[in-house]
Every structure is written in structure tokens, then in C-alpha cells.
């Protein structure tokens, strides 16, 4: 059993950090698109990523957040731009002159009218200086930039999620195929044991062992097929396939080379390009601008208002009139409102700075972890590939020895279990190595760029 000892090598792939989402994460859902067809769709990894970027709920929500931030910036800008309005009115009046400060003698009537008044006028309001409005606009601009970075970060995350689910589904499919192959082998060995038992070459216990092994493999086939179908359902939801649509995955995984860079180079690139870190920095600047806007509320502001139009008893008799007013507003006392809002802004600014520092630290741990996983899974894959070859050779030798009556089928059953474990180790190692490369691209903030570069197509809309 020397070969078996070579096969049962420790595999550390279970210690690798796997991409995962919380149960309530929007990135685990998708908006179904299209109608169900009778055809079975054949999806490549690029097709899956494209569909996820177009229909994943997390991406769609991030895009709408960016659209909302753009709208908020337009609102903030409007406070700095001229406001122009117009009004046309036709009135019928009867006025008490004495009520407006005209004490008249008795021979003059106190009531004037009724008479008509026509007025057509345009009004203009322009902010000349308002530091609060200026800084509100700057904060809105930082918010838009942060939202765009967050949207890009969401797209990078969905690339990772979609690629991981694609690889995971392929892994469960490979396990199902391997389980069926092992069931066929177990069935063949059971028939062989029956034949040898009828010939009197083996004992009845060998037939029982072969049948137990066959039943065990049949259970594995059922479990593996169930896992495969559930993986497909999860993938279909994330990429927004219409419920009930049949599909299968392409087995061709394009080779994605490992980026040739040192840890220091990778960290420098991540600090420069990670969209979530860039978004955190923009949130800090947004909070700083918001604080300055609150301080500006206690400063004087200057506005100009003007109107121009025609007024008269009738349209034909109207005469042009205008007014221009420049106003300086100076806040004197607001009951502590500014101080209270300033305390809130200071708290928000400290929070944003802490989040930015945490995001920077997270980059180091993500990149470092990705490098460790990449090296470990590459070695695991090499070991698992060789172990699978040795396990197959061991099973062949055991079957030959059993057929020749040299040994019982205990050795064959043990060899079958070795093959099963070696196949599982190989599938897990291959999956882990591919996921490690995807995790590295995500940690660098270049997942979507890597798709366009290595998978042969652009995924932008």
C-alpha cells in the first residue's frame, strides 16, 4: 500500500479564504431579464460575467446610487445659479386708502375703486456670495465621485462573485461526473466479484463488500447531482436568468496567467486603483466640505434680486417698471443650531476618516492573503494532479491482483476510496487555484479589466 500513502497527502485548500456574501446581500440576487425559451443556453465564463454585470441586483443598486448622487449635485448647483421666473396677473381691486396711511378729509372718499390692475413681470434672483452653498456643491461633487467609485467597486465584486459561482458550478459538475464514473467502476467490480464467486475463486464476503461499495457510490451520485443543480440555481439567480431557463456551462476555462509583480508593486497598485478605497477617500472630502458648508451658515451672504415688467390699469396703458435689490444677510443668533450641526459634522468626519484608514489596511490584508492563497493553491494543484495519477494506477493494480485471485477485494475497495478522495482533492485544488487568481484581481481593483484582457471581450455596456 505504498502508493496509497502517497495519495493521502494533506491538502490545505480548506484554509483558503473563499469569496462569500452575507445572506441578505443584494449581490446574491439578480433582476430576471428576458423570457424562458425551450433551448438550452450554453454559457461561457465571459457570458456569465456579462449577464451578472447587466442584471445583478447589487450592480443595479450601485448604479442607481450614482444616479441619485448626480441628481443631488444638480440640486446643490442650482443654489449658485440664477433663478428666473415670470408672472402675468390681471386684478380687480377696491381699496381703503385710509387703511394704507392716507388720512383724508371728509370730502375725499375713503374707498377707491373698483379698478383693474394689469402686471406682467420677470423676476431674477442671483446668489453673489454664499460660502455654505458653495461648499454644499463641493460636497455633492465628492459624493458623485465616491458613488462612481462605489459603482465600479460593485462591478469588480460582481465579476468575482460570478466567476466564483461559475467555477463552483463547474466543480460540482466535475464531482457529479466523477461520482458517476466511480459508480460505473463499482458496478463493474460487483459483477466481477459475482463472476469470481460463481467460479469459486473468492469468498461471498467479497461480493458483499462490492455491493456495499456500489450502494455507497450510488448515494454519492445522488448527492453530487443535487449539489450541481443547486449550484446552477444560485448562478442563474445572480446573473438574472428568467426562472426556469435551462442552461449549461462551457467546460473551457481560458487560462489566466498569474500577474508578475512583487507584493510591494501589488500594494502600490491597489492603493492607486482600488475603487472602494478611492470612494472612502472621496467620502472624507465630502464630509470636510459638508463641515465647511455648516461653518458658512454663520457667515454673511450676498444676494441680488431684480424684477422688470409693465404695470397699468389695462394692457394697453401699461408702463415699464423695474427694481433691483442687493441684500447682505448676517446671521446673528440661531439658538445654537449651527453649533449642533457642526458637532454632527465633526462626528461624521471622524467616522469617514476611520473608514478610509480601515479600507487602506484592508487592502494590505487582502493583497497579502491573495498572494499566500495563490502560492498555496498552485502547489496544491501540482500535488493533487500527481496524487490523482497515482490513485488511478493503484486502482488498476488492485483490480488486476483481485482478478488474479492474489488478494481479496478489500484492497480494491480501499483503492476506490483513494481514487474518490484524490479526485475530490484535484477538483478542490483546481477550483481554489482559479479562485485565488480572481481574488488577487479583485484585491488589486482590476477584476473587470482582467476580464477584458484575458477572457477575450469587453464587459462594459
Q: Is the pLDDT of residue 7 over 70?
A: no
Residue 438 lies in a domain: yes
Average pLDDT over residues 18-44: 85
Kindly indicate the confidence band of residue 281, based on its pLDDT and cuts at 50, 70 and 90: very high
Domain count, the chain: 1
Q: Is the pLDDT of residue 460 over 80?
A: no
Residue 431 lies in a domain: yes
- Mind listing the pLDDT tens digit for each residue in 326-352? 999 998 888 888 899 999 999 999 999
Kindly indicate the confidence band of residue 261, based on its pLDDT and cuts at 50, 70 and 90: confident
Q: Is 413 helix (H, G, I), strand (E, B) or coil?
A: helix
**CA 309 centroid distance within chain:** 55
Residue 435 lies in a domain: yes
Q: Could you tell me the CATH number of the domain that includes residue 376?
A: 1.20.1600.10
Say what the alpha-carbon torsion angle 227, 228, 231, 237 is, to the nearest 10 degrees.
-120
Of the candidates 24, 43, 432, the one whose C-alpha atom is nearest the C-alpha of residue 236 is: 43
Residue 324 lies in a domain: no
Euclidean distance between CA atoms 69 and 72, whole angstroms: 5
Q: Is the pLDDT of residue 390 over 60?
A: yes
Q: What average pLDDT does the structure give for the chain?
A: 85
Lowest mean pLDDT among 7-21, 203-217, 347-361: 7-21
Q: Cell numbers at residue 330, please? A: 448676517
Residues 6+ apart with CB under 8 A from 299: 131, 132, 331
**Domain interval for residue 31:** 27-83+131-297+337-454
Residue 21 lies in a domain: no
Return the pLDDT at 314: 87
Residue 280 lies in a domain: yes
Q: Is the pLDDT of residue 354 over 70?
A: yes
Q: Is the pLDDT of residue 11 over 70?
A: no
Average pLDDT over residues 257-273: 87
Q: Is the pLDDT of residue 8 over 70?
A: no
Question: What does DSSP say about strands 41-43 and 247-249: parallel, antiparallel, or unpaired?
Answer: parallel
Lowest mean pLDDT among 75-79, 143-147, 298-302, 453-457: 453-457
Residue 34 lies in a domain: yes
- Mind listing the pLDDT tens digit for each residue in 40-51? 999 988 899 899
Residue 124 lies in a domain: no
Amino acid at each position: 500500500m505504498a502508493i496509497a500513502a502517497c495519495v493521502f497527502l494533506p491538502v490545505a485548500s480548506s484554509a483558503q479564504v473563499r469569496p462569500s456574501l452575507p445572506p441578505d446581500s443584494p449581490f446574491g440576487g439578480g433582476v430576471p431579464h428576458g423570457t424562458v425559451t425551450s433551448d438550452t443556453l450554453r454559457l461561457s465564463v465571459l457570458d456569465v460575467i456579462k449577464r451578472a454585470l447587466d442584471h445583478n441586483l447589487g450592480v443595479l443598486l450601485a448604479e442607481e446610487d450614482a444616479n441619485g448622487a448626480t441628481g443631488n449635485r444638480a440640486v446643490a448647483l442650482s443654489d449658485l445659479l440664477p433663478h428666473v421666473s415670470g408672472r402675468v396677473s390681471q386684478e380687480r381691486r377696491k381699496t381703503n386708502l385710509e387703511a394704507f396711511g392716507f388720512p383724508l378729509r371728509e370730502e375725499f372718499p375713503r374707498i377707491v375703486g373698483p379698478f383693474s390692475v394689469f402686471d406682467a413681470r420677470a423676476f431674477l434672483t442671483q446668489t453673489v456670495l454664499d460660502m455654505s452653498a458653495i461648499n454644499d456643491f463641493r460636497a455633492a461633487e465628492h459624493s458623485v465621485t465616491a458613488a462612481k467609485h462605489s459603482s465600479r467597486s460593485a462591478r469588480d465584486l460582481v465579476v468575482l462573485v460570478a466567476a466564483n459561482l461559475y467555477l463552483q458550478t463547474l466543480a460540482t459538475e466535475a464531482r457529479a461526473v466523477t461520482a458517476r464514473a466511480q459508480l460505473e467502476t463499482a458496478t463493474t467490480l460487483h459483477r466481477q466479484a459475482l463472476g469470481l464467486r460463481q467460479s469459486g475463486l473468492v469468498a461471498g464476503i467479497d461480493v458483499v463488500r462490492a455491493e456495499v461499495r456500489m450502494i455507497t457510490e450510488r448515494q454519492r451520485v445522488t448527492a453530487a447531482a443535487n449539489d450541481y443543480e443547486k449550484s446552477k440555481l444560485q448562478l442563474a439567480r445572480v446573473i438574472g436568468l428568467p426562472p426556469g431557463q435551462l442552461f449549461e456551462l462551457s467546460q473551457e476555462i481560458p487560462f489566466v496567467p498569474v500577474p508578475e509583480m512583487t507584493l510591494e508593486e501589488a500594494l502600490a497598485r491597489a492603493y492607486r486603483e482600488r475603487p472602494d478605497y478611492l470612494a472612502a477617500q472621496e467620502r472624507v472630502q465630502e464630509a470636510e466640505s459638508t463641515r465647511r458648508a455648516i461653518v458658512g451658515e454663520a457667515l454673511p451672504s450676498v444676494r441680488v434680486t431684480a424684477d422688470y415688467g409693465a404695470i397699468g390699469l389695462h394692457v394697453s396703458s401699461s408702463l415699464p417698471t423695474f427694481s433691483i435689490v442687493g441684500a447682505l444677510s448676517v446671521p446673528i443668533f440661531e439658538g445654537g443650531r449651527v453649533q449642533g450641526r457642526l458637532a454632527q459634522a465633526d462626528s461624521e468626519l471622524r467616522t469617514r476618516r476611520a473608514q478610509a484608514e480601515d479600507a487602506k489596511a484592508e487592502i494590505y490584508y487582502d493583497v497579502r492573503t491573495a498572494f499566500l492563497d495563490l502560492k498555496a493553491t498552485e502547489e496544491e494543484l501540482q500535488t493533487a494532479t500527481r496524487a490523482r495519477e497515482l490513485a488511478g494506477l493503484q486502482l488498476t493494480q488492485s483490480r488486476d491482483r483481485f482478478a488474479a485471485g492474489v488478494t481479496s477485494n478489500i484492497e480494491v475497495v480501499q483503492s476506490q476510496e483513494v481514487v474518490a478522495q484524490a479526485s475530490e482533492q484535484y477538483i478542490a485544488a483546481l477550483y481554489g487555484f482559479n479562485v485565488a487568481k480572481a481574488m488577487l484581481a479583485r484585491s488589486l481593483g482590476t477584476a473587470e479589466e482582467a476580464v477584458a484582457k484575458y477572457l477575450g471581450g469587453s464587459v462594459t455596456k
